[in-house]
Amino acid sequence: MAPVIARLRESQDFTPVVMVTAQHREMLDQVLRLFAITPDHDLDVMLPEQSLFDITSRTLVRLDPVLAGARAAMVLVQGDASSTFLGALAAFYHRIPIGHVEAGLRTHDRYQPFPEEINRRLTTVLADLHFAPTGQSKINLLREGIAADRILVTGNTVIDALLDVARRPDVVLPPGLPSLDGRRMLLVTTHRRENWGEPLRQIYQALLDLLERFPDVVVVFSVHRNPAVRRIAEEILAAHPRAHLIEPPDYGPFVRLQSRAYLILTDSGGVQEEAPALGTPVLVLREVTERPEGVAAGTVELVGTARERIAERAGRLLADRAAHAAMAQARNPYGDGHAAERIVAALRHWFGRATARPAEFVS
């Protein structure tokens, strides 16, 4: 949302009021600093090892008085986090129009990813305006009965933010990384709830297999702070001399890491869009993805969580430089860096400040 906030600040028509839930405090604060955003309201709902029930109840209760006094013309929510759906629900309760940024992503499996697939479907039902990142996302919304004049294909604001940060000369790699000295880096992130337990064990065992097979490979693993992830990662990988488990970097250094990696293995949604924009191939550690455009373009491959398949598909890209180059050079279908401009232009049209509807991004 940071690029949208920046464009709204530049506009003569709107005054943005920024509200955060702080569901993930450490990750949030560094992004706010990077983009010079000071929230007007910080709900501070974070609790250690909080459940979905905790997040839901605390977020709704704390949103109520803020929205009651806000006199907002519209509430903008982004993505598919629980706070996205809950922000839309609270706005609906207060009869405030809702705009959904990054609308229309679907796996068509309600439990994958969990709970994000249901969060975004429920947000769609509540939203008045739908800012779809790609043409496929728009098709998904049309199939669910959303009127075409309520949808605009904008590209994803994730790419706006990524390109902004990638151009900054003061953004550097995180400290404490091993010297590569010509070795190839596998960058790894995992955090999805549906992968907790045995799927994570399969993933981390596959990393050991790759380290054994390719002595020039170094694994840099940004380990999520959730104990459900951290315990298994440390148990399986911590002892290997070429597996480097690091704390999650700030966003800027993580962009640098993605650009330096030879290959990324992740179950993240955002990384599936960011890495292709940087020319880094991605293997997605999930059974389904709501971002099929990258798969179709050839820059992303869906490999699941089985140890043998992960090792085989990653091994192919490490052994076959032509196959790696084909993925690295594939077209990025997720944005051109101007999504936020289109969103603000659409808001001006919605509120009668502009006569022309903005042109859509062609993915």
Q: Which three-class secondary structure state does DSSP give residue 44?
A: coil
Kindly name the residue from 100, 106, 224, 342 that is annotated as catalytic: 224
116 belongs to the catalytic site:
yes
The CB-side HSE value for 351 (13 A sphere, CA atoms) comes to 15
Question: 264 forms bridges with which residues in the sheet?
Answer: 187, 282
List phi, psi (to 5°) of 168.
-80, 120
Helix 270-278 and helix 157-166: axis angle, to 10°? 50
Kindly name the residue from 191, 242, 256, 342 that is annotated as catalytic: 191
Torsion of CA 279, 283, 289, 290, to 10 degrees: -10
Strand ranges of the sheet holding 243-246, from the earlier edge strand across to the other edge: 243-246, 217-223, 184-190, 263-266, 282-284, 300-302
Q: Among residues 99, 29, 86, which one has the least CA distance to residue 57?
A: 86
The CB-side HSE value for 177 (13 A sphere, CA atoms) comes to 25
CA 77/CA 84 separation, integer angstroms: 5
Kindly name the residue from 102, 117, 160, 287 that is annotated as catalytic: 102
26 belongs to the catalytic site:
no
CB 344 within 8 A of CB 7: yes
40 belongs to the catalytic site:
no
Kindly name the residue from 58, 62, 80, 100 that is annotated as catalytic: 80
CA-only gyration radius of the chain, Å: 20
Q: Which three-class secondary structure state does DSSP give residue 76?
A: strand
102 belongs to the catalytic site:
yes
CA 346 to the chain's CA centroid: 23
N-term to C-term CA, the chain: 20
Maximal C-alpha separation, the chain: 62
Kindly name the residue from 9, 193, 309, 324 that is annotated as catalytic: 193
41 belongs to the catalytic site:
no
CB 176 within 8 A of CB 208: no
Q: Which three-class secondary structure state does DSSP give residue 151?
A: strand
80 belongs to the catalytic site:
yes
Q: Which residues are catalytic?
A: 80, 102, 116, 191, 193, 224
